[in-house]
Structure 1
């Protein structure tokens, strides 16, 4: 009989496990839309994006004036853009390593402050060589921002909100690129390109101060190692991932299109049949606002079409814009720029957020490799696009862009094929 039926007392053996209630899972303290700190974080990184692109491309809309001032051709003047993006591409990986050790916010703040200081020196460059050198240093300083910002978001924002959060940062890039070019265009028309670049430097000072005051302190950062062996292992792991390699190539190819188009468009619009003044040419860059919308909407696009579907859409939109821009009609050229800008920013937001999601460790290195590829694409696009324009006119620049878009579509198709092959293998039962 059981003890209960006999009235005997029950003594628990020391080895008998005592039932316990399940321990509740710790609450996810990462930031989410509508939650505390999310708006401050979003606005701070938005301002960082504004300052980054405004400084990085501060000379792009002014290239015809720089050519006239120093007596150089379009190809030489384009190095004031290519040097900045090239400096960023070379230094983004070392700067990401510093952010792993000293923190994302610390590195982003230091990078922005140094870039702003150099930006205030740029208007005083006595020669094209000095200007290119200062721009290279400025680009190297800005290298601490893009990869660190993406890693910060991947650590501090909940995964479901990551694409939207990165889209807002990319939107800041588009606003910075747009405002920098519009402001420099009108200021340069009245007072010259040097004053125009100086004004951008002052705008960046305000953005840098507000960024530092607003960005919340990181709560989920864990310091990593600066040992070369550890960093090399992380880089090797990321480069061994087929998906990450495809994303890096896609970012580079999208930026090749964008860099080439916006480096050369000023030269095209100053020539017949358009013959536009500098202020109007600067205002053309208001189409960047389209990029603000498309980047911030990238999350919804991925939700509807999936990552690869969104990349196909972005590539197709960019190609349509390139073809439309060939028509010698200002309204159609502007519409082409709208489509190119929308496609580029959507594709960039999708690819960069996918890198943050794919990397399971060494996120700063993973995003740094993406940013390095991205800005190598910008430097290549600026230089090759200008050379193609010199030899074949606007059609030559468009041809370079279409080849890059074809590369995006081909790489995305390889990803689609790889995903289908993996799905078929999983569907086959093991014997």
Structure 2
């Protein structure tokens, strides 16, 4: 047993709740502005490119710093400290949004939010992979991923409803308290891992040989990149489409995000169980195809009563993909470079997520809002192509069949 692993089953589940809560706060913070976009557009007179840049700055900061943060996590073993520091910084961002007086400050806070989250996924997934039972890693990673969906469901819903009642600045300020609470629980619930015994140069050599030269990890990075660009490229503009097409306000938009992420939260453990039985990559391919179809339906059908059911189905398929990618990455990676392998995957994903919103915003300006939303389904089909390539690589490498759950 790892020295940091809990001694009792109850201790395991208490710590699992805490690590899932950190994921809820971290990923929910990235969704907090989504139901507020119509208000920000009105107050600061933003165009679609500027809206895209609001989310792009966060993703860009995370993309640039994620690999260095991953290397620090692997080399020092101070993953708990990195997690807690990021959460405290998110709380500071929430507080500063309350005094934001212009678009430049919104961009600066988006940048700070990206810095706050840059170390989260590499550190947290390494903690789950190493400090919980490895025999049940798929289950624990699914619960951890479900925490993200819970945050992405509840935080936009609470922020959207609060903004409807008291204004968007107060709504964001209210999020300081739960964020600080979870940061403190993180410090109390986990111990630091022992630092690596090799030099920094040795750690860099391990990353180069074990991560950057691993073809399966590189293809998984391409899947994450296409997936991230597809999702991030349409996410900021869905609220504008729903507002302009159906007249939705912040409360209705928050409810839509709640349904989208909430169904993902409920379905992720079931999808993880299904993937263990029939193969992770098969489930990933099917889910990606379904996401492409559903995202194409939103601007095509334009039937208001179908939006919430489409969001519910979309949440199941869309968020079911993420823990499958995470589990596959940790299976392919060596123990000494887990954080760096996860960091590579999220670096590619967040970099593409950063580039996508301004590019799709420019496409919308050149065409129309409804046409620009087809950016999403097109890139989800690209992601599907990479998944099929990965399935071929896996089929040809029988020694990796068990690791990825593909029934050889």
Q: Deviations over 1:340-366 (max 9, x none)?
A: 322221111101111111101311111
Asked if the contact 1:85/1:376 (under 8 Å) is kept, the reply is yes
Query: Residue 44 of structure 1: which of 18, 28, 38 is its match?
Result: 18
If the length of structure 1 is used for normalisation, what is the TM-score?
Answer: 0.85
Cα distance change on mapping 1:71 and 1:173 into 2, 3 Å? same
Greater relative contact order (Cα < 8 A, sep 6+): 2
Asked if the contact 1:385/1:396 (under 8 Å) is kept, the reply is no
SS at match of 1:240: coil
Pairing 1:297–2:270 present:
yes
Cα distance change on mapping 1:383 and 1:149 into 2, 3 Å? same
Q: How many residues align?
A: 395
Alignment correspondent of 1:197: 172
Give the Å deviation of 1:229.
Answer: 2.6
- The farther-off stretch of 399-408 and 386-395 is 386-395
Give the Å deviation of 1:33.
Answer: 12
- The farther-off stretch of 362-371 and 299-308 is 299-308
Alignment correspondent of 2:58: 84
Alignment correspondent of 1:129: 104
- The farther-off stretch of 132-141 and 252-261 is 252-261
Give the Å deviation of 1:28.
Answer: 7.3
Give the Å deviation of 1:403.
Answer: 2.0
Asked if the contact 1:58/1:200 (under 8 Å) is kept, the reply is no
Pairing 1:143–2:124 present:
no
SS at match of 1:120: helix
If the length of structure 2 is used for normalisation, what is the TM-score?
Answer: 0.89
| 1:15-26 → structure 2 map (5 Å cutoff) | none
Query: Residue 333 of structure 1: which of 287, 295, 307 is its match?
Result: 307
Alignment correspondent of 1:407: 382
Asked if the contact 2:93/2:113 (under 8 Å) is kept, the reply is yes
Q: Deviations over 1:388-419 (max 9, x none)?
A: 33343354344211222212221122122223
- The farther-off stretch of 260-269 and 95-104 is 95-104
Cα distance change on mapping 1:335 and 1:392 into 2, 3 Å? farther
Alignment correspondent of 1:110: 85
Alignment correspondent of 1:165: 140
Pairing 1:354–2:339 present:
no
Cα separation, 1, equivalents of 2:38 and 2:339: 37
Q: Deviations over 1:323-350 (max 9, x none)?
A: 3222111222222222332222111110
Alignment correspondent of 2:405: none
Higher Cα Rg: structure 1 or 2? 1
Of Structure 1 and Structure 2, which has the larger fraction of its residues in helix? 2
Alignment correspondent of 1:281: 253
Q: Deviations over 1:107-158 (max 9, x none)?
A: 1112211221232112212211111012201211221211100111111123
Stretches of structure 2 that go unaligned for 5 or more consecutive residues are 400-408
Pairing 1:233–2:205 present:
yes
Stretches of structure 1 that go unaligned for 5 or more consecutive residues are 1-26, 425-431
Asked if the contact 2:228/2:352 (under 8 Å) is kept, the reply is yes
Cα distance change on mapping 1:341 and 1:29 into 2, 3 Å? same
Give the Å deviation of 1:313.
Answer: 1.6
Cα separation, 1, equivalents of 2:128 and 2:148: 15
Cα separation, 2, equivalents of 1:65 and 1:276: 12
Asked if the contact 1:257/1:404 (under 8 Å) is kept, the reply is yes
C-alpha RMSD over aligned residues: 2.5
Asked if the contact 1:108/1:144 (under 8 Å) is kept, the reply is yes
Asked if the contact 1:154/1:357 (under 8 Å) is kept, the reply is no
SS at match of 2:25: helix
